[in-house]
Structure 1
């Protein structure tokens, strides 16, 4: 059934006209949500479901109005009662309708009901405020057809003053899309928020003073990951409405949002809520069985007062709410109550789930448990009998098992490495991802999927499901290559497996670099010792010589220089001098020649580059090197960290610790302690000795190399002084003297020139490394009014390609630690000589001369022009708001030439001005059209 829209203007909604039927009068709505489900795989037919919760003291339910958001007629839908809540005070109503959408697109589907519950405290005039929910839904075949998440848990849990309130919507997405949660303001119409809406923790109200544990302030929030809605804790009796969205994501794109508007009923009762205790969130490998104990306990005494005797619970009911549809009935979790009741106020349940490959997905399963108490029936007051509960969510992620029996075999004849592995155990696998690094790494996987970035592997390939081999053709001789693989699973569920075992293979070479060690750190006289291993084969054609090459950076062969020395077979090391080892980084390689012909080249090896970042009480060191050997090997895992303090001689470096590179990567934290105090303002110089190996027995190990020396200090928290800024102002006379003829291009580019000086103050540091430039088109008085437009290293700046000169500027200074100064003085200038003038006649006769109406000269500092022409009877014949040069060709709105004569115009011109109140000017006049 469809209904043509009848528009009723409702003054109580501030003049908003809503398309509603006069018989849609169901009232006293407490809560509701709207979801969408696709009915089959290939059609655009969807089922819209609205579930409402009605206070039974209101008018019985009537028809509800659903807007499909696609321009088709709204539809009145009859309700079906699903019964009442356990307290018999709320009726649950179901509205459903099927709808065919014409095409792909984004649709906002909404439901309108006339009146809310009349006693809601955080909504002004609730009985006269409509109930409106609106869910957004994307139909996009490129992302796959989709159904919205469904909300499995009804919003019926009541709250008590002073007690933490937690509820969860139990959102479940059939396709396994990622879900997130966010609060929103309750609505009374499309894009119309409830008037004067306030959240329960509004600081101007007394509804939330302190938490359940008596700490302040209280809080109200929704967990963006689990969807737990928490109010800790209500302070005043009443009904409060809150709303939130469950956002659905696929491939990083938000494809839908389900809206729930719900009511929290707060009472002051003698009861205390029970408390649930769940296991920690967990990850489990598909094929394993998960078990866990869920414990529920009654509170013996009040949280914020002692000595008040509370009746114990006779019965505690623990229920699994989240009835997730699993792949097969035999695969569904099992939840068994152990039956500790009665008489103790305690109950527990045993959760068990035998997982399979079909349960693998990227997003965790969220099992939401609820406990509701049952106060003693003989309690003399009805108020004491109100049931209270607790709700918590247990997140369980199911990941794929690792691929098995990966092997790697080097093929020296063609410089490749062949990988093989067993067919993957799960049939729903999508692909096998292949990762590689030089040298082995002891990856300690704690249910972590894929290959983490910190392990240093890089992706080298991917094969389809069912393929069990791969040939790596991108390897080079002279390195030990180590591989791991893992499985991925198709979207929308997605998910990954854990990584396989590591498999390594070594490709022998003729030459091997072994050392690139910094022996002296200096800006002009630095030194690096380079070593290599030459082949022992004496059958190579004579003469055999070697050449050594150096390039800048850790890799890439930039600015290559050949060392001016020819090396013989007996020479295998060289000290490279006169380098900038303080600021620059270098890498090296050796080439072998026989009879002047290049025979082979060693793989490049870089120096160890040391970096540091500081905190208030620690200095974090990190280092890297691009070398053909492993510096994270389990065979030589310890790198040594040395330090000397300010003023000490070069030979007084002290070993302060070792870094376990094979476990924690190439890093070390020098933390200030009682036994190792680091003093603010004092410089510390560090260097690191790395140990590495080719993991190939014929080659020596360990290979030891020093980084450059690095001097740093604890985090500097003192910002520089604000600079002193000067803005070069542009005189109007210079602009008038350079007017542009309007027949030419009227695009005018202006520029503002800034210069500044560093301030000198004993309380400021002068370790400035850069300046931030801030700009606002209008008047600005503080930092929040500006936008940062650039970072410069010098004390001047030209702001170019501007449509006007108006603007405000400020600069700040930034030091080596990232401290930013306060704003400089603010310098501003306005467009003092704006200009816009029109002629009084033009000749649109298509002779190429004066055929269009354009301004005299180019409009100066004009942002926009709304220009309209009227004939002598006051009829509009032409209008434009898209061209500041107007360019009227003498034709009317229908494209017909207007008759010669006098016409009148009105021009509303917006100029670029510093003060927005000065920006608008009106121009009126007459124009003679001459033919």
Structure 2
């Protein structure tokens, strides 16, 4: 009977081994087939090595309880190279409720020749995809993988493949590598990625640069191995994650095999356009070409003596358009030399194609070696695969107009009805002054244009009233459209529409003439009022100054002036922004008040070799107008040139209100030199008949280059600890209550490559031996001193280092590391104690001071070796003579084994074993 069982076991193992001979790759996807119910179709596609056994039944688990189903295989035929059979497993299942489900497929039959898995024939094949059932998601299905993983690779050649993931609902997709698995949460045995640094599978790229690389593009899903170095079969696995509204709602798992061969053949090279966009309603056209190559660019010895014919195809592309509107790929009918292929893609887009995510067109070029080529020991078809991304944008809203109403200081916007389906919201943006912006592939209204969002309305609306506006300002508007989910999407911005609300008179200048914190000055100017308003009246003005644009918060600084300009002095123009406005009087009666206008503010950011400037203002006119887009940059060097010189100009339509001073090739900016700047801005009301350009200077602002040069590391010393020892017994005499301290001193060092502007020091410490700063923690920061006392210590063992810090926070490298051990560890127990309750010697405690001991583990046995007492904890023990059950032990001789744990520099020295005896007397 025993012999029979052994035979049965051996036979079963041999069957298992045979069955593990055919699965190269597989993936699992899910499709909802019921609009109201929870019924889904689960699809598993496997790719089998035809040299193995035929397809077996597989098990699909539905991710809850023990729900699973055994499914029969359906053959879909062979791949072009006849080496792989495609098998389909399909079933439907009704899930019990909403929730997240991990649906998986398991089969014993992974093929046994995988290079990057140990004992692959003994590892099963397991894939697991996750999806979310939620009524809010509607008829959501997982992404579908359109491209089979059957493209072969050759050593030294870059390998690229894409799964062609397509999501019918237009959800966002991302890609990530994972480990191949043999069952749920269990990776295959000793899995390694193809670029494992401990293996020789990847050495250099196709262009001969090093190191080689294996990766998956998280955005496109391109798997790129650049480049295999050894032939073999390599399995890799990845997830396609599905996202909606920033939430992951599912993941599709594919486990695939890359077959690498060493044969004399080079892959073709595929050429595709740059990623692009197209406005819905237009026709996309683009050329695609491929050419077989006969020599690697970097390795002249790697040649293919024969040019093979090449096929060119689009293997994946958008399928959302209505029938007849899907992209079409047409091969060229022109006569081409052998080894070349050309084609073009054409797509007649419409509004249904608009979505947030770009579409991916995936093209493939394959060579076709002649089967009778003697230099090929097998017919190895090599290919190149590339992904082209095309984003379909909504057309810009049309017909926008802006109509001002001076009676209530409002502007009414009107635009044509937006007709694209799924249009959900119209977003309305506004700015002061015009800005010439012609969007190409950028949807919405980008920040650099200076527009700010003021409202949003339903996409069916065609008008909007903007109220409570300032007079004397030219307001410009743009709108764009966003589309509903799950596809989402945005339109291009509309053309600009502007409207001016007239005022009686206008501020035109608030220019800083002198920068000072006590005696600064500002020139303020304004226009005269309309002649009809003040006809036959005596015109005077009152000027106000404030720290904000609230006309009620200002103070009157000039009255009854007839001039339209004056200079305000005695100000802190170095630190303060000022606002000005004016009121006009006719025969002493106030008639009108201008809008408030501020001085130009400037911010400076020192960098390592450059100084960055940006400026801003709060004025009724625009300083970022396309009428006068040039602003001027002035600079002076303190101590070298006390005069401001014009060094550059800025086109604010290209760079915004920003400038980077990089110096020049002949005169780069220098360390420790103070550079001062002021900006001359140009502005306009963007309304004909008013003065322009409006010129205003900013205050001066100064800076030096960012100091990135650290001080030199100091030289550190540690005062060693000296043990206190009885000269007769040579035993420690330290006080057990002593709190220890370590005294550090140091000296600064200098060098050509470091600065001397030290402002303080950081102290680093570890209670154990340290080799670098990473082994220590910072315990203190001190100023410009050269001594530090580390006190309140339980022991003196430890490692120290310090760094120097300058005014800019630059920290030096660490000093030399100094360390010391506890030089006189000591622990001793007495040989007798008397636990009789007389208050004298009633408990067992160590003799003298247990110097630098931190914990003990004590075991006490009687003379027969029986454990009568155990203790672990504080070094003082304080054993009262009771046994492990709390019963008084009789007077006798007992034996102890004590493990003492000391504070030591090296953890390996911390433990000491002490054995002895003790007399318990009552």
Common fold by TM > 0.5: yes
Is this contact kept in 2: 1:543–1:595, CA < 8 A? yes
Q: 1:204 aligns with which of 178, 198, 203?
A: 198
Q: For residues 378-409 of structure 1, what are the alpha-carbon distances to aligned partners after superposition, in whole Å with 9 as ceiling and x for unaligned? A: 31255253111110111111111111121101
Q: How has the CA–CA distance of structure 1 residues 93 and 634 changed in structure 2, closer, same or farther, with 3 Å as cutoff? A: same
Q: What is the TM-score when the length of structure 2 is the normalising length?
A: 0.76
2:42 match: 48
Q: Distance in 2 between matches of 1:367 and 1:343?
A: 26
> Structure 1: where are the runs of 5+ without partners?
1-10, 12-20, 726-735, 737-755, 796-806, 829-901, 903-913, 918-931
Is this contact kept in 1: 2:541–2:582, CA < 8 A? no
1:719 match: 710
Q: 2:545 aligns with which of 525, 532, 549?
A: 549
Q: What is the TM-score when the length of structure 1 is the normalising length?
A: 0.75
1:538 match: 534
Q: 1:325 aligns with which of 302, 314, 319?
A: 319
Superposed CA RMSD: 4.6
Q: Distance in 2 between matches of 1:759 and 1:599?
A: 72
Is this contact kept in 2: 1:375–1:384, CA < 8 A? no
Q: How has the CA–CA distance of structure 1 residues 792 and 431 changed in structure 2, closer, same or farther, with 3 Å as cutoff? A: farther
- Shifted more, 174-183 versus 809-818: the winner is 809-818
Instruction: Say if 2:640 is the partner of 1:644.
Output: no
1:627 match: 619
Structure 2 counterparts to residues 110-125 of structure 1, below 5 A: 110-125=104-119
Q: Distance in 2 between matches of 1:298 and 1:341?
A: 16
CA-CA distance at 1:115 after TM superposition: 3.9
Instruction: Say if 2:577 is the partner of 1:585.
Output: yes
Q: Distance in 2 between matches of 1:813 and 1:628?
A: 51
SS in 2 for 1:319: strand
Q: Distance in 1 between matches of 2:381 and 2:280?
A: 39
Is this contact kept in 2: 1:199–1:242, CA < 8 A? yes
Is this contact kept in 1: 2:168–2:320, CA < 8 A? no
Q: Distance in 2 between matches of 1:275 and 1:531?
A: 67
1:65 match: 59
SS in 2 for 1:331: coil
Q: How has the CA–CA distance of structure 1 residues 564 and 600 changed in structure 2, closer, same or farther, with 3 Å as cutoff? A: closer
Is this contact kept in 1: 2:317–2:362, CA < 8 A? no
- Shifted more, 364-373 versus 622-631: the winner is 622-631
SS in 1 for 2:121: helix
Q: Distance in 1 between matches of 2:469 and 2:45?
A: 60
CA-CA distance at 1:178 after TM superposition: 1.4
SS in 2 for 1:349: strand
Is this contact kept in 1: 2:318–2:360, CA < 8 A? no
Q: For residues 474-517 of structure 1, what are the alpha-carbon distances to aligned partners after superposition, in whole Å with 9 as ceiling and x for unaligned? A: 42222110001111111111111111110101112345332222
Q: Distance in 2 between matches of 1:40 and 1:388?
A: 42
CA-CA distance at 1:820 after TM superposition: 5.4
- Shifted more, 247-256 versus 207-216: the winner is 247-256
Q: How has the CA–CA distance of structure 1 residues 638 and 792 changed in structure 2, closer, same or farther, with 3 Å as cutoff? A: farther
Q: 2:602 aligns with which of 602, 606, 610?
A: 610
SS in 2 for 1:127: helix
Is this contact kept in 1: 2:544–2:555, CA < 8 A? yes
Instruction: Say if 2:431 is the partner of 1:437.
Output: yes
Is this contact kept in 2: 1:26–1:60, CA < 8 A? no
Q: How has the CA–CA distance of structure 1 residues 297 and 561 changed in structure 2, closer, same or farther, with 3 Å as cutoff? A: same
Q: Distance in 1 between matches of 2:216 and 2:474?
A: 50
- Shifted more, 78-87 versus 532-541: the winner is 532-541
Instruction: Say if 2:710 is the partner of 1:710.
Output: no
2:464 match: 470
Q: How has the CA–CA distance of structure 1 residues 309 and 327 changed in structure 2, closer, same or farther, with 3 Å as cutoff? A: closer
Q: How has the CA–CA distance of structure 1 residues 232 and 420 changed in structure 2, closer, same or farther, with 3 Å as cutoff? A: same
Q: 1:293 aligns with which of 287, 305, 309?
A: 287
Q: Distance in 2 between matches of 1:778 and 1:586?
A: 60
- Shifted more, 520-529 versus 409-418: the winner is 520-529
Structure 2 counterparts to residues 212-231 of structure 1, below 5 A: 212-231=206-225
SS in 2 for 1:383: coil
Q: For residues 744-766 of structure 1, what are the alpha-carbon distances to aligned partners after superposition, in whole Å with 9 as ceiling and x for unaligned? A: xxxxxxxxxxxx99989676557
Q: Distance in 1 between matches of 2:356 and 2:543?
A: 53
SS in 1 for 2:101: strand
- Shifted more, 676-685 versus 76-85: the winner is 676-685
Structure 2 counterparts to residues 14-413 of structure 1, below 5 A: 27-142=21-136, 146-306=140-300, 310-339=304-333, 344-383=338-377, 385-413=379-407
Q: Distance in 2 between matches of 1:272 and 1:449?
A: 42
Q: How has the CA–CA distance of structure 1 residues 131 and 421 changed in structure 2, closer, same or farther, with 3 Å as cutoff? A: same
Q: How has the CA–CA distance of structure 1 residues 308 and 534 changed in structure 2, closer, same or farther, with 3 Å as cutoff? A: closer
SS in 2 for 1:330: coil
Q: Distance in 2 between matches of 1:794 and 1:99?
A: 75
1:500 match: 494
SS in 2 for 1:424: coil
- Shifted more, 770-779 versus 816-825: the winner is 770-779
Q: How has the CA–CA distance of structure 1 residues 324 and 563 changed in structure 2, closer, same or farther, with 3 Å as cutoff? A: closer
Is this contact kept in 2: 1:121–1:238, CA < 8 A? yes
- Shifted more, 714-723 versus 143-152: the winner is 714-723
Is this contact kept in 2: 1:282–1:395, CA < 8 A? yes
CA-CA distance at 1:781 after TM superposition: 8.3
Is this contact kept in 2: 1:244–1:261, CA < 8 A? yes
CA-CA distance at 1:413 after TM superposition: 1.0
SS in 1 for 2:437: coil
CA-CA distance at 1:137 after TM superposition: 1.8
Q: For residues 283-336 of structure 1, what are the alpha-carbon distances to aligned partners after superposition, in whole Å with 9 as ceiling and x for unaligned? A: 111111111111110102244443676343453211111053232122111111
CA-CA distance at 1:192 after TM superposition: 2.5
> Structure 2: where are the runs of 5+ without partners?
1-8, 10-14, 717-736, 738-744, 786-797, 820-885, 887-904, 909-922
Count of aligned residue pairs for this structure pair = 786
Is this contact kept in 2: 1:513–1:605, CA < 8 A? yes
2:842 match: none
1:454 match: 448
Q: Distance in 1 between matches of 2:500 and 2:368?
A: 69
CA-CA distance at 1:184 after TM superposition: 1.8
Is this contact kept in 1: 2:111–2:121, CA < 8 A? yes
CA-CA distance at 1:91 after TM superposition: 1.6
CA-CA distance at 1:270 after TM superposition: 0.8
CA-CA distance at 1:712 after TM superposition: 2.8
Q: Distance in 1 between matches of 2:782 and 2:616?
A: 29
